[in-house]
Amino acid sequence: MSKLLIAGLGNIGLEYAATRHNIGFDVVDALVYKHGGSFRIDRLAALAEIKWKGSALVCIKPTTYMNLSGRAVKYWMDKERIEIENILIITDDIALPLSKLRLRPGGSSAGHNGLRSIEEALATEAYPRLRFGVGNDFPRGRQVDYVLGKWSEPELPLVRLKIEKCVELVESFVGAGIDRAMNEYNKLEITL
C-alpha cells in the first residue's frame, strides 16, 4: 500500500479560522471529513489518517504556524518514510485569481513563507504543491491584512465549491498521479 503525506498550510488559533491564509487547513479538513477520518493532536501537527483507492493518506495541519511549516512536513515525512514525490502541500496563492487552482511538481516559494519554510526543511523546491488562488484585491501595502482576512460573504459560495474541487484534485493526485491531475484541474476556470 502506498503512503502519501497531504499537508494543508495555515495558522492555528480561532483568529485565523476561515481566513484566506488558512485555506490549506480547510481543504484538508474537507478531505478528511469526506473520508470519515478525524484529527488528533500529535507532534507538530493535527493528524488524521485515511484510506483512498489502496493508498494510506497521512493528513496534517501543522501546529507550528505558517512560517515554520517545514518542521512539521519534514518530521512527518521522515516518521512515516514518505518519499518527496508522495507529498502534497496545499496553500493559498495571491498570484492566482479566486477562480483558479494550480498543481505543480515543484517551483519557487514565490515569497510564500510556508512554502519557503518547507523548501528550507527539505533542501529542495521539487515537491508537489497545490496553490488555491485567493486573488489579490487589496490596496498596495495591505497584503498581510488581505491574506489574514476572512472571506467576504459574496466569495464564500465559490470558496466552498473550490474546496470540493480541491478534494477531487487530491483524490485524482492519489489515484491517477500528478500528471493526470494537472491536466484535469490546472486549466479549469471555477465559477458558480
The partner residues of 56 in beta bridges, in order of sequence, read: 3, 51
In angstroms, the CA 182 to CA 102 distance is 8
pTM over 0.95: yes
Give Cβ neighbours of residue 180 (< 8 Å, ≥ 6 apart): 172
What is the per-residue pLDDT for 88? 98
**Domains, in order of start, for the chain:** 2-185 (3.40.50.1470)
Segment 171-184 shows an average pLDDT of 97
Tell me which H or E stretch contains 59. Answer: strand 55-62
**Which phi and psi angles does 29 have, rounded to 5°?**
-55, -45
Residue 1 predicted with pLDDT over 90: no
pLDDT band at residue 137 using 50, 70 and 90 as cut-offs: confident
Residues 67-101 pLDDT 10s? 999 999 999 999 999 999 999 999 999 999 999 99
Answer yes or no: 21 catalytic. Answer: yes
Across the range 13-29, mean pLDDT stands at 96
Report d(CA 100, CA 190) in Å as an integer: 6
Q: Catalytic one among 20, 21, 112, 131? A: 21
